[in-house]
Amino acid sequence: MANPNIRLSLALDAGIPTPPAKGALIFNALDDGEYAPLGAPICMQWFKPACDYLNAMGYETTQEVTTKSDFALVEVTRFKPQTLGLIAQAYDALNDGGTLVVNGDKTNGIESHHKTLRKLFEIEGVISKAHGKIFWLTKGARPDVLDQWLAGMAPVEIEQGFQTQAGVFSAGHVDKGSALLLEHLTNRMGGKCADLGAGWGYLSRALLERGDKVKSLDLVEADYNALNCARLNVTDPRANFHWEDAAAFKGANYDFIIMNPPFHQTRKAEPDIGKAFIAKASSMLAPKGQLWMVANRQLAYEDTLNAYFVQVTPVTETTQFKVINASRPKKPTQKR
């Protein structure tokens, strides 16, 4: 992975106006970010594990920027409308004459953002390094197109009346794996339930609609924006919303857990996240509790499931996905 901070250091050496000692804004501050050269910045980040990392490094974090600054850095995301929305937010958060810096890897589309912005603004400096680019400009007149970019970040309605937002998992459509899980989910669900990695609430809404024996449902989701969409989509009073890293979530004695666990945070598959979700689900369930999950078929979760549950039952399999039911969670003292 290219080191994104090298570009920031080079740009500061090249003479970007000095950031204020306190309160420079970083939009999408990275979880491998080293922002000491920016003094004591305010880091905008919506993904909870990244936020936890930034807090542990001593940085102030926020999910919604409400202050103004003379300096704003945008770290581009993988999603174009989300990045454009962040650029517009950053521009609006700058004082007149403030400096906007945009940084990112080629794989995240920095070239295209550079092209777009240089048609609208005078770019004052650009440095290409480490498979990416950093460029900067001074805030002046505000182009109208920024309103469109901001609007591109707002929740929009998709199929079945769901609201989703740019950048969240499966933003434009219902995920096929989750739909398969719903098709095969037992209709005996009830009691205390949780949806780990609940996203914008597709599984949770369906569960509450069909499960009148469900007493409560905890939606645990690390993406602040996705969870906000879930609040719009799941209005049943039995639902509770937790902006948490599922791996750190404190909950016990659940009767049912459903999940379509994440398997990557970057572009490559990282099945260890899914394995951590399985271990966590096992520790959260009551002795007679059950886990219902869907996963991409090629992801080898079976050894982990067998390590954490006495009974593991394949429910169905398609060319792409598999649905699995696991019950009788092993106690930590049982052999794994």
Ligand X SMILES: C[S@@+](CC[C@H](N)C(=O)[O-])C[C@H]1O[C@@H](n2cnc3c(N)ncnc32)[C@H](O)[C@@H]1O
The residues binding ligand X (CB under 6 A) are: 49, 169-170, 175, 178, 197-199, 202-203, 220-223, 226, 245-247, 260, 262
Neighbours of 193 (CB within 10 A): 25
For ligand X, the closer CB: 41 or 261 = 261
Q: How far is the CB of 179 from ligand X (least distance, A)?
A: 9
Q: How far is the CB of 49 from ligand X (least distance, A)?
A: 5
Q: How far is the CB of 277 from ligand X (least distance, A)?
A: 8
Phi, psi torsion values for 21, nearest 5 degrees: -60, -30
CB 26 within 8 Å of CB 10: no
How far apart CA 239 and CA 207 sit, in angstroms, is 10
Q: Is 28 left (phi over 0), alpha (psi -120 to 50) or beta?
A: left
For ligand X, the closer CB: 110 or 203 = 203
For ligand X, the closer CB: 227 or 305 = 227
How far apart CA 98 and CA 101 sit, in angstroms, is 10
Q: How far is the CB of 79 from ligand X (least distance, A)?
A: 13
For ligand X, the closer CB: 198 or 285 = 198
Nearest by Cα to 49 from 66, 32, 65, 64? 32
For ligand X, the closer CB: 5 or 296 = 296
* Chain-centre distance for alpha carbon 56: 19
Q: How far is the CB of 159 from ligand X (least distance, A)?
A: 12
For ligand X, the closer CB: 165 or 260 = 260
For ligand X, the closer CB: 19 or 261 = 261
Q: Which residues, in sequence order, are bridge partners of residue 44?
A: 27, 62
How far apart CA 57 and CA 65 sit, in angstroms, is 20
DSSP-assigned letters across all residues of 176-214: HHHHHHHHHS-TT--EEEEEET-TTSHHHHHHHHH-TTE
Geometric angle at alpha carbon 234, from 228 and 238, rounded to 5°: 115
For ligand X, the closer CB: 70 or 245 = 245
Q: How far is the CB of 261 from ligand X (least distance, A)?
A: 6
CB 299 within 8 Å of CB 269: yes
Q: How far is the CB of 302 from ligand X (least distance, A)?
A: 19
Q: How far is the CB of 245 from ligand X (least distance, A)?
A: 4
